[in-house]
Amino acid sequence: MSLNKNEMAAVIARDIPAGSYVNLGIGQPTLVADHLAPGSGVVLHTENGMLNMGPAAVGEQIDRDLTNAGKIPVTELPGCSYFHHADSFAMMRGGHIDVCVMGAFQVSARGDLANWHTGAPDAIPAVGGAMDLATGARRVFVMMTLLAKDGSRKLVPSCTYPLTGVRCVDRVYTDLATFEITSEGVLVTATYGPSFADLVEMLDVPLVDAT
Q: Could you list the residues that contact other proteins (CB under 8 A)? A: 46-50, 63-67, 71, 82-86, 88-90, 92-93, 117, 122, 124-132, 135-136, 162-166
- 185 CB-near residues (< 8 Å, 6+ apart): 109, 206, 207, 208
* Cα distance between residue 89 and residue 83, in whole Å: 10
| Beta carbon nearer to other proteins, 46 or 174 | 46
* Cα angle for residues 110, 113, 119 (degrees, 5° grid): 125
Q: CB 90 → other proteins: shortest distance, Å?
A: 8
| Residue 39 CA, distance from chain mean position | 22
Composition of the chain by helix, strand, coil, percent to 5: 20, 30, 50
Assess whether 47 carries a catalytic annotation.
Answer: yes
Q: CB 163 → other proteins: shortest distance, Å?
A: 5
Residue (of 203, 13, 193, 6) closest to 108 by Cα position: 203
* Cα distance between residue 102 and residue 94, in whole Å: 18
| Beta carbon nearer to other proteins, 90 or 187 | 90
Type of residue found at 187: L
Q: CB 82 → other proteins: shortest distance, Å?
A: 6
| Beta carbon nearer to other proteins, 22 or 92 | 92
| Beta carbon nearer to other proteins, 66 or 156 | 66
| Beta carbon nearer to other proteins, 66 or 177 | 66
**One-character DSSP codes across 34-45:** GGSPTT---EEE
Q: CB 138 → other proteins: shortest distance, Å?
A: 13
- List the catalytic residue out of 7, 47, 76, 184: 47
The number of residues in the chain equals 211
Q: CB 174 → other proteins: shortest distance, Å?
A: 23
Catalytic residues: 47
